[in-house]
Amino acid sequence: MMTRRQFLIGSGAAVVGAALVSKAQAASLPEAPVQDKAMTQPPLFPPNGRPYLPVVTLNGCSLPWREKGGWKEFHLVAEPVKREIAPGMVANLWGYNGQSPGPTIECVEGDKVRIFVTNKLPEHTTIHWHGILLPNGMDGVGGLNQPQIPAGKTWVYEFVMKHSGTFMYHPHADEMVQMAMGMMGFIVVHPKDPNLHRVDRDFVFLINAFDIDPGSYTPRVNTMLDFNLWCWNSRAFPGIDTLVVRKDDRVRIRMGNLTMTNHPIHIHGHNFSVTCTDGGWVQKSAQWPETTVDMPIGALRAIEFVADAPGDWAFHCHKSHHVMNAMGHGVPTMIGVDHRGVAEKINKLLPDYMVMGERGMAEMGDMEMPLPDNTLPMMTGRGPFGPLEMGGMFTVVKIREGLARGDYKDPGWYRQPEGSAAYEWKGILPAS
């Protein structure tokens, strides 16, 4: 991770709930670290303050802070960014500190938090702290709670984290455009007592979606429902990192949904309980076992399970069109249609034309066909047994024995013990 120090230019920045920042104060702003790679970074253990087990942000990182006068100070920079959605595709997005979503903010219940927000976008912005209980003037709704933050200015938000839990941040200014361009981030507030709600591994990601035409780089911001790239932390399979877990660890996965539809998120091989929402922790008596949690629009959920079954377990949205990339919404169904004769004629004009769809679409999972520049295959990825035929909101939870406590390195594909895998029947088949 590279770092840069952000300096204000001019006669001082506008501030919410505090005095104007002078030039001298501007020069002492906390650093705004930049993460321009889409790889999952190691957890950021607290250098001071109350102890806690840090989270792992899928394909992202946590934001460092400094202690000053009893305040934890963070610095977010809203700016245009380039984000690799998956190998072979890069998008022009808006985000924070070089990435979309922005870095995760971690702190502890009772912390006094001061967040500097520098606007390097071409238009004004604000930040709303979704689910956080705070003074009205810090809520970040432009025009209602504060003036908009003009381009080139820095504002300050100050509040006390009253409750631990799972939260997020996003603009409340030109919201349709700015969120469609990727502006959002996660907030995790740890309990004062590090043994309360304790787990062994704690993962976070935001669910987001884009509409990017094949061959282009910038999202269509006026799309309402027909998105073609379904992402976790602005990444689509095969670009979403795996979740590496030690056998018998207690695992928490925190998710937030900032798309325009719901998402039934499903895990294989285990069941879990929903233990936290953006409204707070769920009492144990109110929890029940699930394998799928529906993520409503604008909501957060934390699920927990014990990773007691070794293997490579699929983890994905259960809307089947959300595990595909670069979808076309007007494609006709060709199942059962023999169009080989037509294809021969078309091939004389378009040599790269390929027949597809008459026997279903599975062949696309292993097909190498010409694509427009900066476009992902609709179905892609390979596993130990062949094409995975996936895209979008899909990854793998890799559970292994013998991992070290803080080991998140990809262990490779799981070797199934002899006699524990599905196999081909070699006996007599019934007459057809």
Spatial distance between the Cα atoms of 127 and 170, rounded to a whole number of angstroms: 5
Average pLDDT (57-82) is 97
**Closest-CA residue to 217 (of 90, 84, 83, 85):** 90
| Residue 10 pLDDT level (bands cut at 50, 70, 90) | very low
Average pLDDT (148-161) is 98
CA angle 97, 125, 161 (to 5 degrees): 70
Spatial distance between the Cα atoms of 358 and 251, rounded to a whole number of angstroms: 43
- DSSP, collapsed to helix, strand or coil, labels residue 229 as strand
Give the model's pLDDT for residue 20: 40
Q: How far is CA 66 from the centre of its chain?
A: 25
| Residue 379 pLDDT level (bands cut at 50, 70, 90) | confident
Lowest mean pLDDT among 170-174, 222-226, 411-415: 222-226
Average pLDDT (165-193) is 97
- Decide if 297 contacts 261 (C-beta within 8 A): yes
| Residue 9 reports pLDDT greater than 60 | no
Give the model's pLDDT for residue 5: 35
Spatial distance between the Cα atoms of 98 and 331, rounded to a whole number of angstroms: 36
pLDDT in tens, 186-211: 999 999 999 999 999 999 999 999 99
Token output for 423? 């196999």
pLDDT in tens, 297-335: 999 999 999 999 999 999 999 999 899 887 655 656 665
Give the model's pLDDT for residue 334: 61
345 exposure class (CB count in 10 Å sphere: 0-12, 13-18, 19+): exposed
Spatial distance between the Cα atoms of 206 and 190, rounded to a whole number of angstroms: 18
Rounded to the nearest integer, the mean pLDDT of the chain is: 89
Give the model's pLDDT for residue 352: 64
Spatial distance between the Cα atoms of 210 and 43, rounded to a whole number of angstroms: 28
pLDDT in tens, 301-311: 999 999 999 99
> The tokens 């992902």 sit on which residue?
376
Give the model's pLDDT for residue 4: 36
- DSSP, collapsed to helix, strand or coil, labels residue 413 as coil
* Portion of the chain with pLDDT greater than 90, in percent: 77
Give the model's pLDDT for residue 372: 85
Phi–psi pair at 316, nearest 5 degrees:
-165, 165
Spatial distance between the Cα atoms of 422 and 28, rounded to a whole number of angstroms: 62
* Greatest Cα-to-Cα distance within the chain, rounded to the nearest angstrom: 87
* Portion of the chain with pLDDT greater than 70, in percent: 85
- Decide if 252 contacts 201 (C-beta within 8 A): yes
Which is more confident, 117 or 213? 117
Average pLDDT (260-286) is 97
Give the model's pLDDT for residue 25: 54
